Copies of this chain bind each other. A is one copy, B any other.
Amino acid sequence: MIRTGSTFAADMYFFPAITGNVLTNAGLRGLIGGPVSDAALPSHDDAESALAELDQLLSQNNKNDLVQYAIATHSVYLCSQETLQRASELAERRNGRLHIHVSETRNEVADCKEANGLYPVEYLDSIDFFQPGTIFAHASWVKKNEIRMMAEHNVTAVHCPSSNMKLACGGTLSFPPYRDAGVDVRIGTDGAASSGNGLNLLHEARLASLVQRHDHWDATLLPAQEIFQIATKGSQDWVAWNLDDIRMRPLGRSNNRHLANLIYNGGECLDVWVNGQALRKDGVTLTLDEKKIIDELDNAVHSYYEGVE
C-alpha cells in the first residue's frame, strides 16, 4: 500500500488486533473490520467470540486517531439475522462502523430472495441493520430501490472492479445510478486473494474508469479528475508522484494532464506522509523493511508447502 501511495485501508479479514498492530507500525490509517460470521473462522470459533473480542477492541477506538476497529459482518449468507442485529447493536453502543459484503454475486442475491423474500439491501433494511457510516463492499447486483435505500442510510459503497472481473462476478457496481442517487462511492481493491492486484489503488482507479465506460457505453464516465477525486476522497494525507517519470508525459496544455497520465499510464510513488510522519521518501519505504517481509513470506510459503505432494 505504501509503495503504491495508499494511506488508508478499510480492512475485513481475520485477526483484527494483529492487523491493527501492523498498520500502526507501518504508520498507516485503517478501519480494521474484525470479522463476524456464524461459521468458524481461522480467528474465531463463532459469532459470539468474535463479537466479544470486537467489543473489547472497539472500546479502545477513542485512544487512536489512525487505526480504528469496526465490525465486519461478513455477509447476509454467513450471518444469521440474530448475528447481524447483535453486530448492529454493538456498532450503536460502541459508536463503531459496520462493514459487510453485499450483493457481490447473483447467487447470493437469489439465495437471499428465496430465504427472506427480500433482496439483500431490502433485507438489511427490514431488520434495522444500518448504523451511521455503514460500508458496503461490492454492491454490484442491486436494484434501484436498493441504491435509494443506501442513499437514505448514508451507506458508503465500495467499488472493487479487479476482484469482480477476475472472479467473473459478471456484474460490478454500476456507477451512474449510484451517482444520481447521491450514494458515497469509493474505490477498493478487495483482498489480494480475490483481485491479485497487489492492493494497488491506482490499478483500481484506472480499471473503474475503464469498466464503467465499457459497461455503460459512455466515454464521458469517470474521467481522470473524477476518478482521482473518488479514489482520494476524504484523505488527509500527502503523496508525491515522480513527475520526471516518462509516464507523466505529455504535459498537455497548462501542464494539466498530470491526473490523466497518472491514472491511465501509472506512476511511481516517491513520498508518502501520514499524520506528519514520512512513510516513504524518494521511492524508499521507511516504516517497513521490504526485504525482510519478502524473506519472511518466502519462509512461510516454503513451510506451508513442505511435505505437500
Contacts and interface: CB of A to CB of B under 8 A. Distances in A.
A37 to B, nearest CB: 23
A276 interface: no
A218 B167 CA distance: 8
Contacts of A195: 264
A162 to B, nearest CB: 7
Interface residues of A, number: 49
A217 B166 contact: no
A246 interface: yes
Interface of A: 3, 161-162, 164-168, 170, 172, 195-198, 200, 203, 207, 209-211, 213-214, 216-219, 221, 244, 246-247, 249-254, 260-261, 264-266, 290, 293-294, 297-298, 301, 305, 308
B260 A196 contact: yes
A216 B170 CA distance: 7
A46 B219 CA distance: 31
A166 B209 contact: yes
Contact of A290 (B207, B221, B246): B246
A162 B210 contact: yes
A219 to B, nearest CB: 4
Contacts of A168: 213-214, 216-219, 221
A303 to B, nearest CB: 12
A251 B298 contact: yes
A265 B164 contact: no
B308 A253 contact: yes
B301 A165 contact: no
Nearest to A216: B168
Contact of A253 (B217, B221, B305): B305
A220 to B, nearest CB: 8
Nearest to A265: B198
A166 B219 contact: yes
A297 B214 contact: no
Contact of A301 (B170, B214, B252): B252
A217 to B, nearest CB: 4
B297 A249 contact: yes
Report, nearest first, the 8 A-B pairs whose CB atoms are least far apart.
A196-B264, A168-B219, A165-B210, A198-B265, A165-B214, A168-B213, A170-B217, A253-B305
Given A3-B246, A251-B298, A297-B250, A264 B207 contact: no
A216 to B, nearest CB: 7
A215 to B, nearest CB: 8
Nearest to A293: B246
Contacts of A207: 207, 210
A247 B200 CA distance: 10
